[in-house]
Amino acid sequence: MTSISRLKRWAIRASAFAGGAAMVLAAATPANARQSVSLIRDTEIEAVMREYTDPLLDAAGLNRDSVGFYLVGNNEFNAFVTRGQNIFMHTGTIVIADNPGEIKAVIAHEIGHIEGAHLVRFSDGTRGAMVTMIATLGLGIVATMAGAGAGGAAIIASAPQFATLDMLRYTRTQEAAADQAAITFLERTGQSARGLVSTFERFRYQEVMSEARRFEYFRSHPLSSQRIDAMRRRVEASPYRDVPDSPEEIAELRRIQAKIIGFTVSPAQVFQRYPESDTSVEAQYARAVAYFRQGRLDQARQRLSSLIELEPENPFFHELEGQMLYESGRISDSIDPHRRSVELMPDAPLLRVNLAASLIGTNEPEALDEAVSHLRFALAREQQNSWAWFQLALAHEARGETALAQLATAERFFAGGNNMQAFVFANRARDELEQGTPAWVRASELIAVAEPTPQEIREWNRAERERRTPLVH
């Protein structure tokens, strides 16, 4: 699990939707997200989640390329969708799951919200609740004016409660609709929906907890016994209710669970959960990561070598070895394992970015040329990968191509949502680029789309002055 700045420290902070490749944790504020979240980029985990998601999107009649899937680095159970058809899932949801079917069910439920356009209609529900509150307030005022002071005051005081009840009814209707849609999508793909029931059964206790103590998921997805019973009746009537997860899918899930645990839980807890007596692949995987996080590179590589010997064609084992070497300062040594991971999985953009970062670290002309090639490949598939743009800027600067480095930096800021900085660097790049070239045209495009408003310019100038003003003690 890599870090976004490709130094790959677990908690490094970076801009929205940045990329790295092994397991990356980046503090991000997606444009459409409801709150600031820590996004994780990991080729292996993303591949498994896409294996689960894409058939369900097909079943829902949605375009695979139009629905984004993002991993949130948080050990609490949660998943949600945002405007723009984006699904966000906490890593805790993956770790908690007993089987792949439970994760698929959660994903199918969130797809149900997208397919049902529930986010768009949510404003209708809030508007209806507001109408209810205003009507109740009006009734209370009328009663007060008619001389029923105490009764009118009581009606007025109850207005927010009636509005909340109205909103909850609307939300529960949407949740029930998403449940039924999820079961339909799973049936269309020939899969059991029992994971939906077992997941919600596990958290049935959330129904009786106070709002403040509930998981975020169950504050936005209100749970009820009636809702679970309705799901169970539909699932048990399905001809696919007894279709099991394949052994391959179960093994795949256990591996990514171990990987997440290895990177997010203290090494002591990892060793307790996966003792040396456990010789399974997932246990060795978790222990290799834990040793690496402890700075015990030799022990980590020994465990990883055993895995590579067992599965020499597994790109993610080679990727992890490259990460270990890179982060330990052995840049040149990290190139071969990263190159091997790309050979085994050439279409994975993040693996290309990892290799490019290692090549750039050598500062050798041929290596820099190869790095640019890999980064161009990755960015053609992930244009919003701000970490890849950052690496491209480093490569161009190392080759003496300052204008192209500034253009890549402008792209990086634009990908991260910082239009002001994108505008500044695009202007610098265009001033130095030959007019009419593709790079000059792109810089002009960025200037046009990122041009700040007068208010943004004033705020930026004020922030710059404050930043440059020394503190007086």
β-pair partners for 201: none
Lowest mean pLDDT across 93-97, 175-179, 185-189, 469-473: 469-473
Q: What does the alpha-carbon distance between residue 169 and residue 175 come to, in Å, rounded to a whole number? A: 10
Residue 247 burial (CB count, 10 A): 8
Q: What does the alpha-carbon distance between residue 231 and residue 99 come to, in Å, rounded to a whole number? A: 18
**pLDDT tens sequence across 269-284:** 999 999 999 999 999 9
Tokens of 146: 């008619």
The domain spans of the chain are 1-264, 402-473
Average predicted confidence (pLDDT) for the chain:
82
**Given a cut of 70, is residue 81 above it in pLDDT?**
yes
Percentage of the chain lying above the pLDDT 70 cut: 75
Q: With helix as H, strand as E and coil as C, how does 330-344 read?
A: CHHHHHHHHHHHHHH
This prediction has a pTM of: 0.78
Q: What is the average per-residue pLDDT within 6-35? A: 36
Which residue type does 436 have? G
463 pLDDT tier (thresholds 50, 70, 90): confident
**Contact indicator for 91, 168 with CB cutoff of 8 Å:** no
Tokens of 298: 């030799």
Q: What does the alpha-carbon distance between residue 195 and residue 190 come to, in Å, rounded to a whole number? A: 14
Q: What does the alpha-carbon distance between residue 12 and residue 102 come to, in Å, rounded to a whole number? A: 31
**Given a cut of 50, is residue 214 above it in pLDDT?**
no
- The residues near 331 (Cβ < 8 Å, ≥ 6 apart) are 325, 358, 361, 362
**Given a cut of 50, is residue 152 above it in pLDDT?**
no
**pLDDT tens sequence across 438-452:** 999 999 999 999 988
Backbone Cα Rg of the chain: 26
Lowest mean pLDDT across 8-12, 77-81, 345-349: 8-12
Lowest mean pLDDT across 50-59, 109-118, 272-281, 404-413: 109-118
Q: What is residue 13's predicted lDDT score, i.e. its pLDDT?
A: 28
**Given a cut of 50, is residue 296 above it in pLDDT?**
yes
Task: Let me know the angle formed at the C-alpha of 344 by 341 and 348, rounded to the nearest 5 degrees.
Answer: 70
Of 69-83, 221-235, 391-405, highest mean pLDDT: 391-405
473 pLDDT tier (thresholds 50, 70, 90): very low
- The residues near 225 (Cβ < 8 Å, ≥ 6 apart) are 204, 207
Q: What is residue 223's predicted lDDT score, i.e. its pLDDT?
A: 58
9 pLDDT tier (thresholds 50, 70, 90): very low
Lowest mean pLDDT across 42-56, 202-216, 317-331, 427-441: 202-216
Nearest to 104 by CA among 228, 221, 244, 237: 244
- The residues near 100 (Cβ < 8 Å, ≥ 6 apart) are 52, 195, 245, 249, 250, 252, 253
Q: What does the alpha-carbon distance between residue 34 and residue 122 come to, in Å, rounded to a whole number? A: 14
Higher confidence at residue 80 or residue 149? 80
What are the Cα distances from residue 224, in Å, to 16, 209, 425?
Answer: 35, 12, 53
Q: What is residue 38's predicted lDDT score, i.e. its pLDDT?
A: 84
Q: What is residue 180's predicted lDDT score, i.e. its pLDDT?
A: 93
Q: What does the alpha-carbon distance between residue 394 and residue 164 come to, in Å, rounded to a whole number? A: 53
Tokens of 374: 């890999």
Q: What is the average per-residue pLDDT within 370-394? A: 97
Residue 233: is it exposed, middle or buried by C-beta count within 10 angstroms (0-12/13-18/19+)? exposed
360, containing H or E segment: helix 349-362
Q: What is the average per-residue pLDDT within 73-79? A: 90
